Amino acid sequence: MASLYNHYSDIRRVLQKVLVMFSIFTLCASLFYLLAGCCNSLPLDAVDSIAVKQSPQLFYKTYGKSFEKNVSNCTNGMLAPAPFITSLEGTSASESENNHPGKDWTAVRRLPQALILGVKKGGTRALLEFLRLHPDIRALGSEPHFFDRHYSRGMNWYRSMMPKALDGQIVMEKTPRYFVTAETPARIHSMSKDIKLIVVVRDPITRAISDYTQIISKTHNIPSFETLTFKNRTIGQIDSLWSPIWIGLYAQHLEKWLAYFPLSQIHFVHGERLISDPAGELGKVQDFLGLQRIITDKHFYFNKTKGFPCLKKPEGSSKPHCLGKTKGRTHPKIDTEVIKKLKDFYHPHNLKFYQMAGQDFGWQ
C-alpha cells in the first residue's frame, strides 16, 4: 500500500513540474509576441528616444530598412524622423563620430530657433513643405498661433507642441499672422533674442486677390473685390484697413519688427521666385539658417496644371507630392482700372519696403 502511495506521489510531482514548465513556456511565448508586436506599433516618442540613444548612423546600420518601415507605420502620416532616416543612409558610424565628437544623440522638445512669420497667401506653406526635406530641420506641420492667440498658455505648452529634435537640428514653425500682429515682435524677442525670422513676401496686389479668392471660397454672398477695395470708389479712395489690402503694407509691419530685431536676423523670401525658382530661393534660406545646401533642383518639377512647383516622387512613395487642392486656385478677373489704382496706392509703400529690406522685389 505504501509502495502504491509513493508511486502516485511521484506521478504528482512529475505533473507539477510539467505544469510549471508549461507555465514558464507560455509566459516566455507571450513576452516574445508582445515585444514583437511593439516593434510594429512603436509610439513616435519611443522611436525618437530609441533611435538616438547612440549614434544614429550605427543604429540605422544595425537595424536597416526594417526600422525605417516601422517608423513610417508608427507615425500615421505625422511628421516623423524621416529626414533623420534619410541623413543616415550611406554614412558610417565612424564618420558620424568623427564629424560630431561628443554629440548628444537624444531627441528632445525645444523652443524653435527659427520662425516663418508670414505673409498670408505669400507662399509660407510651400516654403515649409520644401524645408521639411532637409534632414537638419524639424518643423511643426500645423500653425500653433502661439504668439498671437495662445500666448496665455505659456512657454511649456508651446514647447510641448514642437517636434522632438536632435542636437544640431533646427526646430521651426510657421504662423503667417505673426508678421502683422502688433504684440508678436516683443513676445518673440522675450523668448529668444537670437531667433532667425523668415518672411515670404509677394506682390501685394496679387497677394490681396489671392486672399480675397480664399475668402469667397469659404463664405458666400461676399461683395466684389472692386467694391471692397475702396472706401469711396468715386474719388478712388482705397480702404487700407480692409485686411487683404492692409496685410500688403509690408513696410508698416516691418517697422515693428526692426524695433526688436536687427535686419541681419530677418530673411525675406521672394514669393514669385519661390514659384519660378524654388531651388534658388531654398538655397538662400539654407544659407541664412547656416545649413548645408541639401535641397536642390533635383527635388522639384513644375506642375503646369496647378502652376506651382511640386516635389519629385520621394523614395517609397507611389506619386509626387504637390500642395493641396486649396493652392493654385483660379483668381477672379479684376477690373484693370482697379488694378491701376492699387498700383498707384502701393507704389510708395513698396519703395519704402525695398529700402528697409535692402532688396528690390521689382513689383510694378
Q: Is residue 27 part of a domain?
A: yes
Instruction: Give yes or no: residues 138 and 81 share one domain.
Output: no
Helical segments of 230-317, H only: 243-246, 250-258, 271-276, 278-288
Residues 304 and 271 in one domain: yes
Give domain status of residue 63, yes or no.
yes
In a domain, 334, yes or no: yes
Residues near 325 by beta carbon (within 8 Å), at least 6 away in sequence: none
User: Each residue of 101-112: b (16+ CB within 10 Å) or e?
Assistant: eeeebebebbbb
Q: Pick from 118, 121, 129, 54: which is nearest to 88 by CA?
A: 54
Structural domain count, the chain: 2
Q: Quote the distance between the C-alpha of residue 170 and its chain's center.
A: 11
For the chain, how far is it from start to end, CA to CA, in angstroms?
A: 115
Residues 84 and 199 in one domain: no
The distance of Cα 256 from the centroid of its chain, to the nearest Å, equals 25
What are 114's strand-pairing partners?
172, 196
Q: Would you state the pLDDT for residue 303? A: 72
Domain holding 143, by residue range, is 110-357
Alpha helix segments (H runs only) across 41-179: 44-51, 56-75, 82-88, 93-99, 124-131, 155-161
Query: Do 217 and 345 belong to one domain?
Result: yes
Q: Tell me, what's the pLDDT at 314?
A: 55
Written as nine digits, the cell of 121 is 497667401
What are the grid coordinates assigned to 63, written together?
Answer: 537595424
Residue 228 is which amino acid?
L
Check whether residue 7 and residue 89 sit in a common domain: yes
**pLDDT (tens digit, 0 to 9) for every residue of the chain, 364 residues total?**
445 445 556 666 767 777 777 778 777 666 665 555 444 433 434 434 433 333 344 333 333 433 333 433 333 333 444 343 333 333 333 333 344 555 557 999 999 999 999 999 999 999 999 999 999 999 999 999 999 999 999 999 999 999 999 999 999 999 999 999 999 999 999 999 999 999 999 999 999 999 999 999 999 899 999 999 999 998 999 999 999 999 999 999 999 999 999 999 999 999 999 999 999 999 999 999 999 999 998 988 777 666 668 888 654 555 666 765 555 668 899 999 999 999 999 999 999 999 999 999 999 7
For residue 113, the model assigns a pLDDT of 98
Cα(116)–Cα(141) distance, integer angstroms: 12
Q: What is the dihedral of CA 33, 35, 36, 39, to 10 degrees?
A: 150
- What is the distance between the alpha carbons of residues 266 and 254, in angstroms, rounded to a whole number? 10
| Grid cell for residue 309 | 512647383
